[in-house]
Homo-oligomer: A and B are copies of this chain.
Amino acid sequence: MTEKNIIKPRKLSGFMELMPNKQYIFDKMIEKIKNIYLKHAFLPLDTPVLELSEILLAKSGGEIDKEVYRFNKGETDICMRYDLTVPLARFVAMNSEQLHYPFKRFQIGKVYRGERAQKGRFREFIQCDADIIGNEELSLVADAECLKIVDEVFETLNLNIINQISNRNILFGYVEGLGYKDKTQSILTILDKINKIGKDNVCEELEKLDISKENISKLVDIITKRGKFQEILTQIKNLSENETFQKGISQIEEVYSYLKAMNINEEKIEFNLGIIRGQDYYTGTVFEAILPEHKDFGTVCGGGRYDNLATYFTDKKFPGVGLSIGFTRLFDLLDSNDMLKDAPLNNIMLQIIPLGDTLKECLELQSFFASHMVCEVAYENRSFKAKMKDANKQQIPYVIIIGENEVQTQIFTLKDMKNSQQYNFSKEECLEFLSKIK
Protein backbone atom coordinates (compact mmCIF):
# COMPACT_ATOMS: atom_id res chain seq x y z
CA MET A 1 0.00 0.00 0.00
CA THR A 2 1.28 3.48 -0.76
CA GLU A 3 1.77 6.14 1.89
CA LYS A 4 -1.59 7.01 3.36
CA ASN A 5 -3.02 9.84 5.35
CA ILE A 6 -4.71 9.10 8.64
CA ILE A 7 -7.88 11.17 8.97
CA LYS A 8 -8.89 11.98 12.52
CA PRO A 9 -12.12 10.07 13.11
CA ARG A 10 -14.97 12.30 14.27
CA LYS A 11 -18.70 12.55 13.88
CA LEU A 12 -20.91 15.53 13.23
CA SER A 13 -21.87 17.40 16.38
CA GLY A 14 -25.51 17.28 17.50
CA PHE A 15 -25.90 13.65 16.46
CA MET A 16 -26.51 11.01 19.12
CA GLU A 17 -24.36 7.92 18.96
CA LEU A 18 -24.70 5.47 21.83
CA MET A 19 -22.37 2.76 22.99
CA PRO A 20 -23.89 -0.58 21.89
CA ASN A 21 -24.98 -1.64 25.37
CA LYS A 22 -26.92 1.64 25.73
CA GLN A 23 -28.28 1.24 22.22
CA TYR A 24 -29.56 -2.15 23.30
CA ILE A 25 -31.70 -0.50 25.98
CA PHE A 26 -32.73 2.25 23.56
CA ASP A 27 -33.95 -0.40 21.10
CA LYS A 28 -35.79 -2.33 23.81
CA MET A 29 -37.71 0.79 24.78
CA ILE A 30 -38.55 1.57 21.16
CA GLU A 31 -39.80 -1.99 20.81
CA LYS A 32 -42.10 -1.54 23.79
CA ILE A 33 -43.59 1.59 22.27
CA LYS A 34 -44.02 -0.19 18.97
CA ASN A 35 -45.81 -3.07 20.66
CA ILE A 36 -48.34 -0.72 22.26
CA TYR A 37 -49.06 0.83 18.87
CA LEU A 38 -49.44 -2.60 17.29
CA LYS A 39 -51.69 -3.75 20.10
CA HIS A 40 -54.05 -0.90 19.24
CA ALA A 41 -54.17 -2.13 15.64
CA PHE A 42 -51.92 0.58 14.23
CA LEU A 43 -49.85 -0.62 11.30
CA PRO A 44 -46.34 0.59 10.48
CA LEU A 45 -45.48 3.04 7.75
CA ASP A 46 -41.97 3.79 6.61
CA THR A 47 -41.73 6.77 4.30
CA PRO A 48 -38.40 7.82 2.75
CA VAL A 49 -36.11 10.14 4.70
CA LEU A 50 -35.80 12.24 1.54
CA GLU A 51 -38.73 14.08 0.00
CA LEU A 52 -39.13 16.58 -2.80
CA SER A 53 -38.71 20.07 -1.38
CA GLU A 54 -41.93 21.24 -2.98
CA ILE A 55 -43.75 18.59 -0.93
CA LEU A 56 -41.98 19.08 2.36
CA LEU A 57 -42.12 22.86 2.16
CA ALA A 58 -45.68 23.03 0.76
CA LYS A 59 -46.93 24.61 3.97
CA SER A 60 -44.52 27.52 3.82
CA GLY A 61 -45.12 27.97 0.09
CA GLY A 62 -41.71 26.48 -0.72
CA GLU A 63 -39.94 29.01 1.44
CA ILE A 64 -36.80 27.61 2.93
CA ASP A 65 -36.51 27.12 6.62
CA LYS A 66 -32.99 27.40 8.02
CA GLU A 67 -33.47 24.26 10.05
CA VAL A 68 -34.18 22.00 7.11
CA TYR A 69 -31.42 20.03 5.38
CA ARG A 70 -32.03 20.87 1.74
CA PHE A 71 -29.89 20.17 -1.31
CA ASN A 72 -29.92 19.50 -5.01
CA LYS A 73 -29.10 16.17 -6.58
CA GLY A 74 -28.85 16.74 -10.30
CA GLU A 75 -31.93 18.77 -11.14
CA THR A 76 -33.90 17.60 -8.12
CA ASP A 77 -34.54 19.85 -5.14
CA ILE A 78 -34.54 17.56 -2.09
CA CYS A 79 -35.14 17.90 1.65
CA MET A 80 -34.56 15.56 4.56
CA ARG A 81 -37.82 15.20 6.46
CA TYR A 82 -38.07 17.34 9.59
CA ASP A 83 -41.13 15.54 10.97
CA LEU A 84 -43.29 12.51 10.15
CA THR A 85 -46.55 14.41 9.66
CA VAL A 86 -45.96 15.99 6.26
CA PRO A 87 -44.82 12.62 4.84
CA LEU A 88 -47.99 11.06 6.31
CA ALA A 89 -50.12 13.75 4.68
CA ARG A 90 -48.37 13.13 1.35
CA PHE A 91 -48.84 9.37 1.73
CA VAL A 92 -52.54 9.62 2.57
CA ALA A 93 -53.20 12.04 -0.27
CA MET A 94 -51.37 9.79 -2.74
CA ASN A 95 -53.01 6.55 -1.61
CA SER A 96 -56.34 7.74 -0.28
CA GLU A 97 -58.36 5.32 -2.40
CA GLN A 98 -56.48 2.25 -1.21
CA LEU A 99 -56.60 2.94 2.51
CA HIS A 100 -59.09 1.67 5.01
CA TYR A 101 -60.57 4.26 7.38
CA PRO A 102 -60.10 5.07 10.13
CA PHE A 103 -56.52 4.68 8.92
CA LYS A 104 -54.32 3.89 11.90
CA ARG A 105 -50.62 4.08 11.21
CA PHE A 106 -47.56 4.46 13.37
CA GLN A 107 -44.14 5.52 12.21
CA ILE A 108 -40.98 5.29 14.24
CA GLY A 109 -38.22 6.96 12.33
CA LYS A 110 -35.46 9.51 12.19
CA VAL A 111 -36.14 13.15 11.40
CA TYR A 112 -33.63 15.90 10.78
CA ARG A 113 -33.32 19.50 11.91
CA GLY A 114 -30.11 21.32 11.17
CA GLU A 115 -30.56 23.79 13.99
CA ARG A 116 -27.76 25.04 16.21
CA ALA A 117 -26.51 22.14 18.30
CA GLN A 118 -27.09 22.54 22.02
CA LYS A 119 -27.50 20.29 25.01
CA GLY A 120 -30.62 18.16 24.70
CA ARG A 121 -31.22 19.19 21.09
CA PHE A 122 -30.38 16.76 18.37
CA ARG A 123 -30.06 17.29 14.65
CA GLU A 124 -31.10 13.71 14.03
CA PHE A 125 -33.70 12.20 16.31
CA ILE A 126 -36.23 9.44 16.41
CA GLN A 127 -39.90 10.29 16.59
CA CYS A 128 -42.49 7.71 17.57
CA ASP A 129 -45.75 8.88 16.00
CA ALA A 130 -49.17 7.28 15.91
CA ASP A 131 -52.10 8.84 14.09
CA ILE A 132 -55.69 7.93 13.30
CA ILE A 133 -57.01 9.44 10.09
CA GLY A 134 -60.65 9.58 9.09
CA ASN A 135 -62.21 9.97 5.70
CA GLU A 136 -64.33 13.15 5.85
CA GLU A 137 -65.12 12.52 9.53
CA LEU A 138 -63.62 10.86 12.58
CA SER A 139 -65.23 9.88 15.88
CA LEU A 140 -64.01 11.43 19.11
CA VAL A 141 -63.33 7.88 20.31
CA ALA A 142 -60.14 8.24 18.27
CA ASP A 143 -59.02 11.11 20.51
CA ALA A 144 -59.63 8.96 23.57
CA GLU A 145 -57.74 6.10 21.95
CA CYS A 146 -54.66 8.30 21.48
CA LEU A 147 -54.80 9.41 25.12
CA LYS A 148 -55.16 5.80 26.20
CA ILE A 149 -52.10 4.90 24.15
CA VAL A 150 -50.05 7.66 25.79
CA ASP A 151 -51.06 6.17 29.14
CA GLU A 152 -50.03 2.66 28.12
CA VAL A 153 -46.77 3.71 26.47
CA PHE A 154 -45.43 5.38 29.58
CA GLU A 155 -46.76 2.58 31.75
CA THR A 156 -44.78 0.08 29.71
CA LEU A 157 -41.69 2.32 29.96
CA ASN A 158 -42.15 2.48 33.75
CA LEU A 159 -42.41 6.25 33.68
CA ASN A 160 -44.97 8.07 35.76
CA ILE A 161 -46.70 10.78 33.73
CA ILE A 162 -49.41 13.37 33.96
CA ASN A 163 -51.17 13.86 30.67
CA GLN A 164 -52.41 17.45 30.51
CA ILE A 165 -55.40 17.70 28.23
CA SER A 166 -57.51 20.48 26.85
CA ASN A 167 -59.55 21.40 23.81
CA ARG A 168 -58.55 24.36 21.68
CA ASN A 169 -62.16 25.32 21.01
CA ILE A 170 -62.62 26.25 24.65
CA LEU A 171 -60.01 29.02 24.60
CA PHE A 172 -60.82 30.04 21.03
CA GLY A 173 -64.47 30.34 21.90
CA TYR A 174 -63.75 32.15 25.11
CA VAL A 175 -61.66 34.79 23.32
CA GLU A 176 -64.33 35.09 20.63
CA GLY A 177 -66.97 35.41 23.31
CA LEU A 178 -65.09 38.32 24.84
CA GLY A 179 -65.47 40.06 21.49
CA TYR A 180 -62.00 39.59 19.97
CA LYS A 181 -62.86 37.32 17.07
CA ASP A 182 -60.43 39.05 14.70
CA LYS A 183 -57.58 38.87 17.20
CA THR A 184 -58.04 35.29 18.42
CA GLN A 185 -54.85 33.92 16.91
CA SER A 186 -52.64 36.75 18.17
CA ILE A 187 -54.12 36.55 21.64
CA LEU A 188 -53.61 32.79 21.86
CA THR A 189 -50.04 33.15 20.63
CA ILE A 190 -49.35 35.55 23.50
CA LEU A 191 -51.14 33.39 26.08
CA ASP A 192 -49.18 30.35 24.91
CA LYS A 193 -45.99 32.11 25.99
CA ILE A 194 -47.00 32.48 29.65
CA ASN A 195 -44.65 29.78 30.90
CA LYS A 196 -41.75 31.21 28.96
CA ILE A 197 -42.10 34.94 29.55
CA GLY A 198 -44.24 35.04 32.71
CA LYS A 199 -47.61 36.51 33.55
CA ASP A 200 -46.55 40.17 33.68
CA ASN A 201 -45.08 40.15 30.21
CA VAL A 202 -48.17 38.41 28.88
CA CYS A 203 -50.40 41.10 30.37
CA GLU A 204 -48.18 43.78 28.88
CA GLU A 205 -48.34 42.26 25.41
CA LEU A 206 -52.10 41.83 25.65
CA GLU A 207 -52.46 45.50 26.58
CA LYS A 208 -50.72 46.40 23.34
CA LEU A 209 -53.52 44.59 21.52
CA ASP A 210 -56.05 46.92 23.17
CA ILE A 211 -57.50 44.31 25.48
CA SER A 212 -59.20 45.78 28.54
CA LYS A 213 -57.69 45.15 31.97
CA GLU A 214 -60.77 43.23 32.99
CA ASN A 215 -60.55 40.91 30.01
CA ILE A 216 -56.81 40.45 30.43
CA SER A 217 -57.48 39.31 33.94
CA LYS A 218 -60.16 36.90 32.68
CA LEU A 219 -57.82 35.50 30.03
CA VAL A 220 -54.93 34.98 32.41
CA ASP A 221 -57.35 33.43 34.85
CA ILE A 222 -58.72 30.84 32.41
CA ILE A 223 -55.40 29.74 30.96
CA THR A 224 -53.94 29.11 34.39
CA LYS A 225 -56.76 26.77 35.35
CA ARG A 226 -55.64 23.21 35.86
CA GLY A 227 -56.64 20.25 38.00
CA LYS A 228 -58.87 17.21 38.14
CA PHE A 229 -61.08 16.92 35.13
CA GLN A 230 -64.49 17.21 36.81
CA GLU A 231 -63.45 20.06 39.08
CA ILE A 232 -62.11 22.22 36.27
CA LEU A 233 -65.05 21.33 34.07
CA THR A 234 -67.49 22.54 36.72
CA GLN A 235 -65.52 25.76 37.18
CA ILE A 236 -65.41 26.76 33.54
CA LYS A 237 -68.49 25.14 32.02
CA ASN A 238 -70.63 28.26 32.22
CA LEU A 239 -67.94 30.88 31.69
CA SER A 240 -69.13 31.62 28.18
CA GLU A 241 -72.14 31.07 25.98
CA ASN A 242 -70.05 31.30 22.85
CA GLU A 243 -70.85 28.46 20.48
CA THR A 244 -67.23 27.43 19.86
CA PHE A 245 -66.56 27.48 23.60
CA GLN A 246 -69.53 25.20 24.23
CA LYS A 247 -68.45 22.92 21.39
CA GLY A 248 -65.05 22.57 23.08
CA ILE A 249 -66.67 21.77 26.42
CA SER A 250 -68.93 19.13 24.94
CA GLN A 251 -66.10 17.56 22.92
CA ILE A 252 -63.80 17.22 25.90
CA GLU A 253 -66.66 15.82 27.99
CA GLU A 254 -67.35 13.23 25.35
CA VAL A 255 -63.68 12.28 25.05
CA TYR A 256 -63.44 11.98 28.81
CA SER A 257 -66.47 9.70 28.96
CA TYR A 258 -64.74 7.34 26.50
CA LEU A 259 -61.57 7.43 28.57
CA LYS A 260 -63.58 6.27 31.57
CA ALA A 261 -65.11 3.45 29.54
CA MET A 262 -61.57 2.52 28.51
CA ASN A 263 -60.69 2.26 32.16
CA ILE A 264 -57.93 4.85 32.00
CA ASN A 265 -56.15 5.84 35.21
CA GLU A 266 -57.89 9.18 35.96
CA GLU A 267 -55.10 10.20 38.33
CA LYS A 268 -52.84 10.59 35.34
CA ILE A 269 -55.12 13.02 33.52
CA GLU A 270 -55.10 16.74 34.25
CA PHE A 271 -57.45 19.23 32.65
CA ASN A 272 -55.10 22.10 31.84
CA LEU A 273 -56.42 25.14 29.95
CA GLY A 274 -52.84 26.32 29.46
CA ILE A 275 -52.17 23.60 26.89
CA ILE A 276 -52.40 25.41 23.56
CA ARG A 277 -49.70 23.72 21.44
CA GLY A 278 -48.56 26.69 19.45
CA GLN A 279 -49.28 25.91 15.83
CA ASP A 280 -52.70 26.62 14.43
CA TYR A 281 -52.63 23.07 13.12
CA TYR A 282 -54.65 21.63 16.01
CA THR A 283 -58.40 22.21 16.10
CA GLY A 284 -59.83 20.29 19.06
CA THR A 285 -58.33 17.99 21.64
CA VAL A 286 -54.76 18.88 22.59
CA PHE A 287 -52.48 17.20 25.11
CA GLU A 288 -48.99 17.27 26.51
CA ALA A 289 -47.57 14.68 28.88
CA ILE A 290 -44.98 15.54 31.52
CA LEU A 291 -43.18 13.56 34.19
CA PRO A 292 -44.40 15.06 37.49
CA GLU A 293 -41.19 14.02 39.27
CA HIS A 294 -39.10 15.55 36.47
CA LYS A 295 -40.92 18.67 35.36
CA ASP A 296 -37.66 20.02 33.96
CA PHE A 297 -37.86 17.38 31.23
CA GLY A 298 -40.71 19.40 29.75
CA THR A 299 -43.19 17.78 27.39
CA VAL A 300 -42.27 14.15 26.73
CA CYS A 301 -45.23 13.45 24.45
CA GLY A 302 -47.75 15.67 22.74
CA GLY A 303 -50.48 15.63 20.20
CA GLY A 304 -54.03 16.42 19.37
CA ARG A 305 -56.84 16.61 16.87
CA TYR A 306 -56.53 18.31 13.51
CA ASP A 307 -59.31 19.05 11.06
CA ASN A 308 -57.50 18.28 7.93
CA LEU A 309 -54.27 16.40 7.49
CA ALA A 310 -53.57 16.74 3.82
CA THR A 311 -54.86 20.18 3.07
CA TYR A 312 -51.87 21.10 0.84
CA PHE A 313 -52.11 17.97 -1.26
CA THR A 314 -55.78 17.34 -1.86
CA ASP A 315 -59.22 18.89 -1.64
CA LYS A 316 -60.54 15.85 0.19
CA LYS A 317 -60.89 16.15 3.93
CA PHE A 318 -58.92 13.91 6.25
CA PRO A 319 -59.47 14.79 9.90
CA GLY A 320 -57.09 13.10 12.28
CA VAL A 321 -55.73 12.81 15.77
CA GLY A 322 -52.26 11.76 16.75
CA LEU A 323 -49.50 11.63 19.27
CA SER A 324 -45.76 12.07 18.98
CA ILE A 325 -42.87 11.12 21.24
CA GLY A 326 -39.47 12.69 20.66
CA PHE A 327 -37.70 9.59 21.80
CA THR A 328 -34.04 10.54 21.31
CA ARG A 329 -34.41 13.55 23.58
CA LEU A 330 -36.37 11.54 26.17
CA PHE A 331 -33.73 8.80 26.21
CA ASP A 332 -30.97 11.37 26.57
CA LEU A 333 -32.76 12.91 29.56
CA LEU A 334 -33.31 9.53 31.20
CA ASP A 335 -29.68 8.63 30.61
CA SER A 336 -28.18 11.85 31.88
CA ASN A 337 -30.42 11.70 34.96
CA ASP A 338 -29.38 8.14 35.73
CA MET A 339 -32.88 6.85 35.17
CA LEU A 340 -32.00 3.89 32.97
CA LYS A 341 -31.79 0.73 34.92
CA ASP A 342 -28.10 -0.19 35.16
CA ALA A 343 -27.22 -0.90 31.57
CA PRO A 344 -25.81 -4.42 31.31
CA LEU A 345 -22.58 -4.56 29.32
CA ASN A 346 -23.94 -7.25 27.02
CA ASN A 347 -26.76 -9.75 26.66
CA ILE A 348 -24.69 -12.86 27.32
CA MET A 349 -26.03 -15.46 29.76
CA LEU A 350 -23.35 -18.12 29.48
CA GLN A 351 -19.76 -18.14 28.31
CA ILE A 352 -17.91 -21.35 27.53
CA ILE A 353 -14.15 -21.11 28.07
CA PRO A 354 -11.78 -23.66 26.56
CA LEU A 355 -8.91 -24.92 28.72
CA GLY A 356 -6.33 -26.53 26.47
CA ASP A 357 -7.18 -27.83 23.03
CA THR A 358 -10.98 -28.08 23.40
CA LEU A 359 -12.20 -25.30 21.15
CA LYS A 360 -14.26 -27.56 18.91
CA GLU A 361 -15.90 -29.27 21.84
CA CYS A 362 -16.76 -25.82 23.19
CA LEU A 363 -18.41 -24.93 19.88
CA GLU A 364 -20.38 -28.16 19.96
CA LEU A 365 -21.60 -27.43 23.45
CA GLN A 366 -22.51 -23.90 22.39
CA SER A 367 -24.76 -25.34 19.66
CA PHE A 368 -26.57 -27.25 22.36
CA PHE A 369 -27.34 -24.12 24.39
CA ALA A 370 -27.70 -21.63 21.56
CA SER A 371 -31.39 -21.97 20.88
CA HIS A 372 -32.22 -21.44 24.55
CA MET A 373 -30.02 -18.56 25.59
CA VAL A 374 -27.28 -16.21 24.44
CA CYS A 375 -24.19 -18.38 24.82
CA GLU A 376 -20.74 -17.45 23.64
CA VAL A 377 -17.44 -19.29 23.33
CA ALA A 378 -14.32 -17.40 24.39
CA TYR A 379 -12.49 -18.38 21.22
CA GLU A 380 -9.80 -15.74 21.08
CA ASN A 381 -6.19 -16.80 21.29
CA ARG A 382 -5.53 -15.61 24.85
CA SER A 383 -4.52 -17.27 28.10
CA PHE A 384 -7.13 -19.03 30.19
CA LYS A 385 -6.45 -16.61 33.01
CA ALA A 386 -7.03 -13.60 30.75
CA LYS A 387 -10.32 -15.11 29.62
CA MET A 388 -11.59 -15.65 33.16
CA LYS A 389 -10.62 -12.12 34.08
CA ASP A 390 -12.40 -10.88 31.01
CA ALA A 391 -15.59 -12.82 31.78
CA ASN A 392 -15.61 -11.12 35.15
CA LYS A 393 -15.04 -7.68 33.70
CA GLN A 394 -17.80 -8.31 31.16
CA GLN A 395 -20.17 -9.28 33.99
CA ILE A 396 -21.03 -12.59 32.35
CA PRO A 397 -23.38 -14.29 34.84
CA TYR A 398 -22.39 -17.93 34.17
CA VAL A 399 -19.29 -19.65 32.87
CA ILE A 400 -18.47 -23.24 31.92
CA ILE A 401 -14.82 -24.23 31.63
CA ILE A 402 -14.03 -27.12 29.31
CA GLY A 403 -10.79 -29.05 29.62
CA GLU A 404 -9.80 -32.57 28.55
CA ASN A 405 -11.48 -33.98 31.63
CA GLU A 406 -14.86 -32.41 30.88
CA VAL A 407 -14.68 -33.63 27.30
CA GLN A 408 -14.19 -37.20 28.55
CA THR A 409 -16.68 -37.26 31.43
CA GLN A 410 -19.26 -34.96 29.85
CA ILE A 411 -19.76 -33.53 33.32
CA PHE A 412 -19.30 -29.77 33.35
CA THR A 413 -18.64 -27.26 36.06
CA LEU A 414 -21.06 -24.37 35.85
CA LYS A 415 -19.76 -21.36 37.69
CA ASP A 416 -22.00 -18.59 39.01
CA MET A 417 -19.73 -15.59 38.54
CA LYS A 418 -21.54 -13.45 41.09
CA ASN A 419 -21.16 -15.69 44.13
CA SER A 420 -18.47 -18.05 42.79
CA GLN A 421 -20.70 -21.03 43.51
CA GLN A 422 -20.03 -24.06 41.33
CA TYR A 423 -22.26 -26.88 40.13
CA ASN A 424 -21.29 -30.18 38.51
CA PHE A 425 -23.84 -30.87 35.84
CA SER A 426 -24.48 -32.81 32.66
CA LYS A 427 -25.26 -30.44 29.79
CA GLU A 428 -28.96 -31.22 30.15
CA GLU A 429 -28.83 -30.33 33.84
CA CYS A 430 -26.99 -27.12 33.00
CA LEU A 431 -29.70 -26.18 30.55
CA GLU A 432 -32.44 -26.94 33.05
CA PHE A 433 -30.73 -24.92 35.75
CA LEU A 434 -30.11 -21.90 33.55
CA SER A 435 -33.56 -21.99 31.98
CA LYS A 436 -35.10 -21.60 35.41
CA ILE A 437 -32.99 -18.56 36.20
CA LYS A 438 -34.02 -16.52 33.20
Contact = CB atoms under 8 A, between A and B. Distances in A.
Contact of A76 (B12, B54, B98, B394): B12
B137 A381 contact: yes
Given A9-B89, A43-B346, 17 more contacts: A6-B314, A6-B315, A9-B310, A11-B51, A11-B52, A11-B55, A17-B91, A21-B43, A23-B45, A41-B347, A41-B374, A49-B110, A50-B69, A69-B78, A100-B393, A258-B363, A263-B367
Contact of A44 (B8, B9, B27): B27
B10 A55 contact: yes
A22 to B, nearest CB: 9
Interface in A92-117: 93-95, 98, 100-102, 105, 110, 112, 114
Q: Kindly state the interface size class of chain A when it binds its partner.
A: 35 or more
A168 interface: no
A437 interface: no
Interface string A326-347: 0000000000000000000111
Nearest to A122: B48
A45 B49 CA distance: 19
A139 interface: yes
A201 interface: no
A360 B258 contact: yes
Contacts of A261: 359-361, 363-364, 367
A46 interface: yes
A313 B6 contact: yes
A105 to B, nearest CB: 5
A49 to B, nearest CB: 6
Nearest to A73: B114
A141 B43 contact: no
Contacts of A12: 48, 50-52, 76, 78
A361 to B, nearest CB: 8
A129 interface: no
23 contacts: A5-B312, A6-B314, A7-B58, A7-B312, A9-B89, A10-B94, A11-B48, A12-B51, A16-B48, A19-B98, A21-B43, A23-B44, A41-B374, A50-B124, A71-B71, A100-B346, A101-B380, A134-B380, A137-B380, A139-B381, A141-B359, A261-B364, A262-B366
B363 A10 contact: no
A348 B42 CA distance: 9
Given A19-B95, A46-B18, A69-B71, A10 B360 contact: no
A345 to B, nearest CB: 7
